[in-house]
């Protein structure tokens, strides 16, 4: 999992220090590490699997695996990339185990009526269309577009996390954008 | 439904996905630490069980490879006991033989009895 362009920042140095402590069985360091990284990890996993509960379970498994591998971990890439790499593998396993059942994160829809509600309804519809469209993408395309757009990861890091060449990542992202335009053509003007 | 410009798709997608970029879960770190403790406990139980099994196998192998087993010792003891019982029986039988040799002498009537019987007294 080496990234040739990787140069550690102060945040990475802190991750490295915490990982060394975790390897020695320091629970406080593990807590700090989890607090630093779990929000983005759960966010990514929720977008992947569509369920908050499953996302939390998978994130938990990611941190247990990190704890197990802490003594063997070498800081050749960002810890966040390493976490996403493990999470991606777990998502692959989860998908092999069962078919995806996307769940809406929207708890309540506004009542139809006045213009503000009409506008809110359109926003809700668009949000649901996005969820459905992203959910319909093939796994590699979805992961690649999520890591690029949602997690702001550069292509190189996505390639490391997905254990694939950068060229493949670029292809998946291009195809994902094309597919999303097709799926959301009702909401957007045809090009 | 209002139509958006295709160029907005990228921006809308970024906005939509960006909303769930970071999902903080309260108490999540504590749950992870608890799960890690449970994992450690499971590992300890697994290793101690494995170590116990290996030790039992080792002892069994050593007992099997070293000298007479308990079973063979039992067999030897039993054979000794059996031979001892046989010798005791033989001794008894020998005594009986001696008695049988004496029996004809002992069964003979005494001289007084013979005289009485002859004279029909």
Partner residues linked to B3 by β-bridges: none
Cα separation, B23 vs A105, in Å, equals 12
Interatomic CA distance for residues A132 and A148, integer angstroms: 19
Per residue in B67-120, pLDDT tens? 666 777 788 888 888 877 777 777 766 665 565 555 555 556 677 777 777 776
Please give the Cα distance from A179 to A177 (Å, whole number): 5
Of A78, A64, A68, A67, the residue nearest A160 (C-alpha): A78
Q: Which residues of B touch A134 (CB under 8 A)?
A: 17
Could you give the maximum distance between any two Cα atoms of chain A, in Å? 61
For residue range A25-81, what is the model confidence (pLDDT) as tens digits?
899 999 999 999 999 999 999 999 888 999 999 999 999 999 998 888 887 788 999
Mean model confidence pLDDT for chain A = 83
Nearest CA in chain A to B21: A43
Query: Of A156, A1, A160, nearest to A73 (Cα)?
Result: A1
More confident residue, A82 or B96: A82
Cβ(A158)–Cβ(A144) below 8 Å: yes
Closest CA to A1 of A99, A77, A71: A77
Chain A residues with CB-CB distance to B34 below 8 A:
none
Confidence of residue A106 (pLDDT cuts 50, 70, 90): very low
Least Cα separation, residue A121 to chain B (angstroms): 10
Question: CB neighbours (10 Å) of residue A79?
Answer: 20
User: Is the pLDDT reported for residue B28 higher than 70?
Assistant: yes
Q: Which residue has the tokens 């140095």?
A: A13
For the four alpha carbons of A88, A90, A94 and A100, in that order, the dihedral sign comes to negative
- List the structure tokens of B12: 């809308």
Confidence of residue A103 (pLDDT cuts 50, 70, 90): very low
Calculate Rg over the CA atoms of chain B.
Answer: 50
Query: With contact defined as beta carbons under 8 Å apart, do A128 and A106 qualify?
Result: yes
With CA atoms as reference, report the closest residue to A36 among A52, A15, A62, A57.
Answer: A15
Local structure of residue A6 (DSSP, 8 states): -
**Cα–Cα nearest to A130, from A105, A94, A152:** A105
Q: What is the ipTM of this complex?
A: 0.71
Of A106 and B107, the structure prediction assigns the larger pLDDT to B107
The residue-averaged pLDDT of B13-26 equals 86
Please tell me the distance in Å from A166's CA to the nearest CA on chain B.
21
Mutate to test the interface with A, among B32, B42, B44 (most CBs of A within 10 A): B32
The better pLDDT of the pair A22, A124 is held by A22
A125-178 pLDDT, tens digit per residue, is 778 888 889 988 999 999 999 999 999 999 999 999 999 999 999 999 999 999
């Amino acid at each position: 999992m080496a990234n040739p362009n990787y140069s550690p920042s102060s945040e990475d140095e802190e991750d490295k220090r915490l990982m060394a402590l975790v390897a020695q069985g320091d629970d406080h360091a593990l807590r700090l590490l989890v607090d630093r990284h779990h929000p983005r990890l759960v966010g990514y996993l929720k977008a992947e699997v569509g369920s908050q509960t499953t996302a939390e379970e998978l994130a938990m498994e990611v941190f247990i695996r990190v704890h197990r591998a802490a003594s063997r971990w070498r800081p050749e890439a960002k810890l966040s990339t390493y976490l996403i790499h493990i999470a991606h593998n777990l998502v692959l396993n989860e998908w092999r185990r069962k078919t995806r059942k996307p769940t809406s994160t929207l708890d309540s829809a506004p009542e139809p009526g006045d213009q503000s509600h009409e506008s809110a309804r359109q926003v809700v519809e668009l949000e649901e269309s996005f969820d459905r469209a992203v959910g319909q993408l093939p796994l590699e395309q979805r992961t690649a577009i999520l890591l690029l757009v949602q997690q702001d990861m550069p292509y190189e890091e996505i390639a490391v996390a997905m254990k694939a060449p950068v060229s493949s990542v670029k292809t998946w992202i291009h195809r994902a954008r094309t597919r999303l335009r097709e799926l959301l053509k009702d909401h957007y003007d045809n090009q | 439904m209002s139509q958006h410009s295709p160029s907005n798709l990228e921006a809308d997608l970024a906005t939509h996905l960006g909303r769930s970029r970071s999902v903080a879960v309260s108490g999540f770190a504590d749950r992870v630490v608890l799960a890690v403790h449970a994992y450690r406990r499971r590992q300890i139980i697994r290793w101690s069980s494995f170590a116990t099994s290996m030790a039992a196998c080792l002892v069994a192998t050593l007992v099997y490879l070293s000298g007479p087993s308990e079973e063979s010792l039992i067999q030897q003891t039993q054979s000794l006991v059996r031979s001892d019982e046989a010798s005791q029986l033989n001794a008894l039988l020998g005594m009986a033989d001696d008695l049988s040799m004496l029996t004809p002498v002992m069964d003979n009537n005494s001289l007084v009895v013979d005289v009485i019987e002859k004279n029909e007294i």
